[in-house]
Amino acid sequence: MINSSLKQLSQHLANKQCSSVELTHTYLQRMAQLNPSINAYITIDAEKSLAQAKAADARIAAGQAGPLTGIPIAQKDIFCAQGWRTTCGSKMLETFISPYDAHVISQFDAAGAVNLGKTNMDEFAMGSSNETSYFGGVKNPWDLARVPGGSSGGSAAAVAARLCAADTGTDTGGSIRQPASLCGFTGLKPTYGLVSRYGMIAFASSLDQAGPMAKSAEDCALMLNVMAGFDERDSTSVNREKEDYTRGLPAMETTQPLKGLRIGLPKEYFAEGLNAEVAKVIETSIAEYKKLGAEMVEVSLPNNNLSIPVYYVLAPAEASSNLSRYDGVRYGHRAAEYDDLMDMYMKSRAEGFGAEVKRRILIGTYVLSAGYYDAYYLKAQQIRRLIAQDFAEAFKQCDVIMGPAAPSTAFKVGEKTSDPVAMYLEDLYTIAVNLAGLPGMSIPAGFANHAEGTPLPVGLQIIGNYFDEARMLNVAHAYQHVTDWHQHMPAGLENL
Ligand code: GLN
């Protein structure tokens, strides 16, 4: 059951093979068993989940079910959910109970999905390993000595360990795709503006975007159908007609379903910095795409090497502004003792934020300060435009771009914590996509066999043009139709 697709689960519910309450119990039991060692969830509230499941069963019985009605999913703890503790992985919000729902949450509620809980994450989504969470690191289900990636590490581990049927993440610089690569599942960051950011705790508003994390492209399409759509409460939400992202997915009758598709391979993605074992897996998956009829074209993204430095000016600049709201006055942590108002601000922030968040606030405040604004912030904005132009040029020659999603497989807990730059390099292939506002996804492409220990998952990244999610999902689905990497589960977790 736990390895079933969303469609199969929905069929089980429709045929009365099981009820949503039973299904929810199954997941809650797995969570009770596995969460203490994996730490994927920050907040679990069985009573709330079961009440939703009961309501879903009534809806199914009344013949009013949608494709996700009664399906147990999880939500990254960055989404405000009414009545649920919403922490964003920070001590600052340790006891914050949200008074309202994020758009994403209300969309899933309206669809009748069951919320199993709030998943662990790097503090304020700043990180690539989930080690900056105030609630402790998340372990990679493929090897508990390793990280799941970040910042959506809890959602990543929850999908990989089948502690939910699917879940949500957010991606500011790679936080859906890099953990998808490290944990071996399918994750999609949509075009900027496709999914409303209303009620999603802000990190870097011009980059943040929510997306689905699931076993397969088909499951991601079903999730995206619920998440995407115009919302007037987010000024960057794009008002365009709703699409059905599952359209065209089952049409795989021919052996070359991708005939005519031009896949761009950026030469900068296959250069220095890419682990040799990861490169091998990516090359094998590209060979598979050739068999499916696609044609390969070499493209170039000449400014890709500037994407990390540009991001680490712009994202902290936006974060320093966004995080100024945590002042100990309106909500969040307030220091127990202080002398005056200024002292209260300072102590509350000093106590409430962790080291990485403080580092970002300091960098952001610095690059925005009067004397440095032109030299750093403005310059970074200009290079951001060049990075977007690189993609526009590349898409003149190809329909989608492919390459690795992360430079290496899951690394050991603690391996990169003392070296922020090594951690920042994890997003070498993902950040430019956010800077350009494009959609990107990572799909399971195989396993790297390192000399030591267990084989670890590798993700293939697919980057599309603006609002081309349906095509990307199609391209991913064609691959998943002829391979079974997306169905593999971490050893020992299958038959619990
Ligand atoms: N790893 C990047 C960072 O630390 C991206 C995080 C994200 O996408 N939320 O900022």
pLDDT value for 493:
85
Rounded distance from Cα 210 to ligand 1 centre (Å):
13
Among candidates 476, 416, 67, which has minimal Cα distance to 261?
476
Kindly report, residue by residue over 434-458, the tens digit of the pLDDT. 999 999 999 999 999 876 778 999 9
pLDDT value for 385:
98
Rounded distance from Cα 292 to ligand 1 centre (Å):
33
Pocket test for ligand 1, best of 78, 119, 129, 172 (most atoms within 8 A of CB): 172
Coil vs helix vs strand at 319: helix
**Closest approach atom of ligand 1 to CA 127:** 4
How far is CA 13 from each of CA 17, 28, 34, 313, 327, rounded to the nearest angstrom?
6, 17, 25, 49, 47
* Contact of 55 with 170, CB cutoff 8 Å: no
Give the up-direction half-sphere exposure of residue 132: CA atoms within 13 A in the CB hemisphere: 28
**Closest approach atom of ligand 1 to CA 126:** 4
Coil vs helix vs strand at 167: strand
Amino acid identity of residue 38, one-letter, is I
Catalytic residues: 76, 151, 175
Rounded distance from Cα 129 to ligand 1 centre (Å):
9
pLDDT value for 495:
64
User: Rounded to whole angstroms, how far apart are CA atoms 296 and 393?
Assistant: 16
Rounded distance from Cα 173 to ligand 1 centre (Å):
5
3-state helix, strand and coil shares in percent for the chain, rounded to the nearest 5: 40, 15, 45
* Contact of 146 with 411, CB cutoff 8 Å: yes
User: Rounded to whole angstroms, how far apart are CA atoms 1 and 3?
Assistant: 5
Q: Which CATH number among 3.30.230.10, 3.90.1300.10, 3.40.50.620, 3.60.20.10 corresponds to the domain 1-496?
A: 3.90.1300.10
* Contact of 169 with 76, CB cutoff 8 Å: yes
Question: Tokens 């009664």 — which residue?
Answer: 70
pLDDT value for 251:
65
Q: Which residues line ligand 1 (CB under 6 A)?
A: 125-128, 151, 171-175, 203, 315, 427
* Residues 6 or more apart in contact with residue 77 via CB below 8 angstroms: 42, 43, 86, 87, 88, 89, 118, 119, 120, 121, 154
* Contact of 103 with 234, CB cutoff 8 Å: yes
Exposure pattern of 299-318 as b/e (b: 16+ CB <10 Å)?
A: bebebbebbbebbbbbbbbb
Among candidates 71, 77, 72, which has minimal Cα distance to 153?
77
User: Rounded to whole angstroms, how far apart are CA atoms 184 and 178?
Assistant: 10
Rounded distance from Cα 395 to ligand 1 centre (Å):
25
**Closest approach atom of ligand 1 to CA 171:** 8
Residues of the chain with pLDDT below 70 are 250-251, 451, 495-496
Specify whether the backbone of 19 is left (phi greater than 0), alpha (psi in -120 to 50) or beta: beta
pLDDT value for 491:
86
Kindly report, residue by residue over 175-224, the tens digit of the pLDDT. 999 999 999 999 999 999 999 999 999 999 999 999 999 999 999 999 99
pTM above 0.95, yes or no: yes
Specify whether the backbone of 160 is left (phi greater than 0), alpha (psi in -120 to 50) or beta: alpha
Instruction: List the residue whose alpha carbon is closest to atom 5 of ligand 1.
Output: 173
**Closest approach atom of ligand 1 to CA 426:** 1
pLDDT value for 86:
98
Among candidates 133, 117, 127, which has minimal Cα distance to 30?
117
Pocket test for ligand 1, best of 122, 419, 442 (most atoms within 8 A of CB): 122
Beta pairing class for 114-119 and 167-170: unpaired
Q: CB 132: neighbour CB atoms within 10 A?
A: 26
pLDDT value for 1:
87
